[in-house]
Every structure is written in structure tokens, then in C-alpha cells.
Chains A and B, each alone.
Chain A
Amino acid sequence: MADTATAKRTVKFIITRRERPDASPYTEEFDIPYRPNMNVISALMEIQRNPVKSDGTKTTPVVWESNCLEEVCGACSMVINGKPRQACSALIDKLEQPIRVEPMSTFPVVRDLVINRERMFQALKRVKAWIPIDGTYDLGPGPRMAETKRQWAYELSKCMTCGVCLEACPNVNDRSSFIGPAPISQVRLFNAHPTGEMNAHERLEALMTDGGIEGCGNSQNCVRSCPKGIPLTTSIAAINKDTTKHMFKRWLGM
């Protein structure tokens, strides 16, 4: 008896779709059989297996991206019930129904829920979010990092370039060139590293150009939205401090 009751339970989804990047979006409704411990990804897999809408007509399977399924890769970012987040950690039992799923349209939408997050990777290149150690000979071990510093730097290293903070930011849009919160926090991470610190000025200068750190308007939506709980606004304020200092040092020729 209990099994029959469970089998009849369905989960209602309203999914925003589009065929091509330039096509106009439309919504489709789905009633998906409920299973315990479902998440949004397993519901999308169910649609993939049986692409039938609520009204019983067939449709094309909904396209999405996902990899790790444990909230560390950042691939399955989408807007679920109005909030940008990872679909893999969005548990059906904890969501209000109908569950509305949309692509993060701050980014170019490729198809359905698939977005192009290339601007995030370009941003990491622009701010040189790496530590240059390559050379023609062995440079030997670098300076040691204080354990207390390592502990907060580790939190920043959890960034998975998922793009949720850019989607939440009111200053990341078509009219602004703001680089977004994530790369600013990465500058703080690599500038905190004892070897990375040797190139700190290059990263700060990258953020002191058009679309850099000045684009932040302090709405602080980023820190409220980050799935990894990264203290993004602390990073932004710390880099504000560093860029301000750097500006005066440059002016004074120090």
C-alpha cells in the first residue's frame, strides 16, 4: 500500500527552455515521479529518460550541464525557484513546488539550461590568477605560509567558478563591464600566497582597469549567494584596501 502511494507522488517542474542561443525562451511543465532523496539533476535525468510534458505530449529532452554531483565543480549552476545555485545540491524535498528552473541568463545561454561561463575563465586570465614558478632552472622551495593565513586562504580556494555570484550581482549586466566578485576573491587568494605575492602588483593593476574592482556597488548579494560560503565581500574590501594603497604608492613613486 505504502509503495503504491509513493509511486503516485509526482514533482511539478516548470522549466525555461530555448532551442538556440538567439531563440526566444519558452517554458514547459513536467510532472516527474517522486523518488526519495531526489535532486534537480536526477529529476532532469528522469526527463531525459522520458521526455513527456505534463499534458502528455512528447518533447525534446531538456539539456543541462553537470559533472561532479557533489557541489565542487560548478558546472550545474542554474536559477532554481528564483535563486542561482547548484542543481546537484538542490534537494527536491527542500524545494517549494512547482519547482521553477531557469538558466543563469547573466551568461550567454547555449541551449535550455546550458550556459557559457567563458567570461569567468577569461577573468581569471586577466587577473593572472596563478602562481608563476616556471623557469629554466630549479628555483628551489618557496617561502613558507603561516598556518593562520593558510586557513582563511583555503576558504577562498574553494571557488569553483560556478558563476552564481555574477548572476546575483546587480552590477554584472549588459550595460556594465564589471568583472564580478569571484575573480576579485581569487586575486586575494593568489596575493596571499608567499610566492604569488611576488606578482601582487600585476593582479592589483589588472583590477584597476576598466571593469575592474570599481564596478562593485556593495549590494553584497554575492556573499549571500555563494554556494561555498566564500567571504566574497571581505575579499572585495581587502582588495579595495590593497588597490587604494597601490594607487597612492604609484602616485608617490614608492
Chain B
Amino acid sequence: MSGNSYYPRKLHSLLGVIPLGLFILEHALTNYSAFEGGKEGFLDSVHGLHSLPLIFFLELFVIWLPILFHGVYGLYLAFTSDLNVGRFNYGRNWAFALQRITGVITFIFVIWHFWQTRMQVALGNTTYDDLGNHMHDIVTQPVYFIIYFIAVLAAVFHFANGLWAFLVSWGITVGPRAQRVSSRICMGIFVIVSVLFLLSLFAFRGDEFASASAAIDTLRLG
């Protein structure tokens, strides 16, 4: 790549935490409300989010554009890296390799997940009120469930380990001890956020979220 790659790389690192890291936390909490508060809890969370002012611009500048830049530039970064865990079988080198592998998985998943959910709302095939049922229809299919399960773990690992790398790349954790402590904290974040997402995936599989669509099916059949 010609020109100066210092600033795009720095921006890539920053966007991964602010706003994308904050977004993934928000997403985890919103989904978790399906586990904690059931269908109503989830609906309340969705309504709460979508009643924010200038919601379209928030989505555009806080989610879509940052993901697009982070993802496309990230693919380029992954392409410029070798994976040498075979020769250098060290924990941090595995994290380095996994960061690139999970990044590619996450980017592909996010495009697909966006198409399957937000885009379907935009196209009028579902509504925010029906999102819970919509998710139920998706994750009750075993193949989709497995894809969601793996992709969620990949995305959360990419976030948690990326946070660790962000702290190093911006010169916040300098010495080996600081980096060791921050890696433990980040892996703790990985476990907690993963559990939030996985619990919500299981919650969406519950009958509670099936009722409306099942009722619609019954009506259609009737």
C-alpha cells in the first residue's frame, strides 16, 4: 500500500473500541434482555433503542460506516499477515492468528446478519415488533443456530482480544506485567459477553418467541 498507513491503522484500532466495542456491548445487553425479561423485556429494549432521536444517523455513523471501514481495512491487514503458529506455538501468537481468523469470520457474519435482520426490516419483510419472532424462526433452524453460536464467539473474541491490542497499540499498557493483567481482564470480558450473547440465543429458541409467528401461521392456515 502506498502513502502513509499510520493513520488508517490507528483509526482502525480506535474504531474497533469506539464505537464498535461499545456497540457490541450494547447489542449483548439488548439481546440479554430477551433472556432476563422474556419477550416483553426484549421488546422494551428494542423500542428504547429505536426511539432515540436521529436513529438513522446514529446507526449510520456509530455502526455501519465504522464497521465498513474496520472490516474492509481489517481484511487487508489479515491479508498482509502470515500465520506462523506452527513454528512459534506461543499463546500470544495464537491470539494474533485468532484475531485475524475471527475478524474475517465476524465480517462475513455481520454482513449476513445485517441482511437477515436490519435489511429485512428496511425491506418491510418484518418489523421491530416482530424481531423476536424473526430471530426465533432463524435460530430454531439447527444450521443457523450453529452458525450464530460460532460467529458470536468469534465476534466477542475479536472484540476482547482487540481491546487488549488497542491498549498496547495506543501505548496504555507498556510493560509485560500491565499486558499480562490486561489480557486476563480482556479474557474475562470475552467470557462474560459471550455468555450474555449465548444465553440470549437460547432465549430466542424458547416457545415464548414462537407464539406470534405460530399464531400468524395458524391464522394463515385458518
Flag if B4 contacts A210 (CB, 8 Å). Answer: yes
Q: State the CA gap A175–B6 with chains docked (Å).
A: 16
Near B by CB (< 8 A), chain A positions 208-254 give 208-221, 224-225, 231, 233-234, 236-245, 247
Flag if A244 contacts B80 (CB, 8 Å). Answer: no
- Does any Cβ of B come within 8 Å of A12's Cβ? no
Contacts of A60 in B (CB 8 A): none
Flag if A210 contacts B1 (CB, 8 Å). Answer: yes
Flag if A214 contacts B10 (CB, 8 Å). Answer: yes
Flag if A221 contacts B169 (CB, 8 Å). Answer: no
Residue of A with least CB distance to B92: A220
- Does any Cβ of A come within 8 Å of B165's Cβ? yes
Q: State the CA gap A241–B84 with chains docked (Å).
A: 27
Q: State the CA gap A83–B89 with chains docked (Å).
A: 11
A82 touching B87 in the complex, CB below 8 Å, given contacts A210-B4, A218-B92, A219-B96: yes
A221 touching B93 in the complex, CB below 8 Å, given contacts A210-B4, A237-B173, A242-B171: yes
- Does any Cβ of B come within 8 Å of A176's Cβ? yes
Q: State the CA gap A186–B84 with chains docked (Å).
A: 25
- Does any Cβ of B come within 8 Å of A173's Cβ? yes
A244 touching B4 in the complex, CB below 8 Å, given contacts A218-B165, A220-B93: no
Contacts of B199 in A (CB 8 A): none
Count of interface residues, chain A, beta-carbon cutoff 8 Å? 39
A83 CB, nearest partner CB in chain B, Å: 7
- Does any Cβ of A come within 8 Å of B90's Cβ? yes
Contact mask B84-103 → A, CB, 8 Å, 1/0? 10011010110111010000
Contact mask B161-185 → A, CB, 8 Å, 1/0? 0001100111111111001000000
Contact mask B7-21 → A, CB, 8 Å, 1/0? 001100000000000
Flag if A170 contacts B171 (CB, 8 Å). Answer: no
- Does any Cβ of B come within 8 Å of A187's Cβ? no
- Does any Cβ of B come within 8 Å of A52's Cβ? no
B100 CB, nearest partner CB in chain A, Å: 8
Residue of A with least CB distance to B77: A217
A237 touching B179 in the complex, CB below 8 Å, given contacts A170-B93, A217-B96: yes
Q: State the CA gap A237–B173 with chains docked (Å).
A: 7
A207 CB, nearest partner CB in chain B, Å: 8
Q: Name A240's contact: one of B81, B93, B171 (CB within 8 Å).
A: B171
Flag if A175 contacts B90 (CB, 8 Å). Answer: no
Q: Name B10's contact: one of A219, A239, A247 (CB within 8 Å).
A: A247
- Does any Cβ of A come within 8 Å of B218's Cβ? no
- Does any Cβ of B come within 8 Å of A168's Cβ? yes
Q: Name A214's contact: one of B9, B92, B175 (CB within 8 Å).
A: B9
- Does any Cβ of A come within 8 Å of B124's Cβ? no
Contacts of B169 in A (CB 8 A): 214, 216, 218, 240
A209 touching B6 in the complex, CB below 8 Å, given contacts A175-B80, A241-B174: yes
Residue of A with least CB distance to B167: A237
Flag if A170 contacts B96 (CB, 8 Å). Answer: yes
Q: State the CA gap A170–B80 with chains docked (Å).
A: 9
Contacts of B3 in A (CB 8 A): 210
Contact mask A153-176 → B, CB, 8 Å, 1/0? 000000000000000101101011
Flag if B88 contacts A234 (CB, 8 Å). Answer: no
A170 touching B83 in the complex, CB below 8 Å, given contacts A210-B1, A210-B3: yes
Contacts of A212 in B (CB 8 A): 5-6
B66 CB, nearest partner CB in chain A, Å: 18
A219 touching B174 in the complex, CB below 8 Å, given contacts A170-B82, A209-B6: no
Residue of B with least CB distance to A178: B80
Q: State the CA gap A245–B171 with chains docked (Å).
A: 9
- Does any Cβ of A come within 8 Å of B79's Cβ? yes
> Among the interface residues B1, B77, B82, which one has the most CB atoms of the partner chain A within 10 A?
B82
Flag if A217 contacts B173 (CB, 8 Å). Answer: no
Q: State the CA gap A82–B174 with chains docked (Å).
A: 29
Contacts of B84 in A (CB 8 A): 168, 170, 221
Q: Mind listing 16 A-B residue pairs with CB under 8 Å?
A: A83-B87, A170-B82, A170-B93, A173-B82, A208-B4, A210-B2, A211-B5, A213-B6, A214-B9, A219-B97, A234-B174, A234-B175, A237-B175, A240-B170, A241-B171, A243-B171
Given A170-B88, A244-B170, 4 additional A-B pairs, CB 8 A: A170-B97, A177-B1, A233-B179, A245-B171
By Cβ-Cβ distance, the 3 closest A-B pairs, closest first, are A241-B171, A219-B96, A214-B9
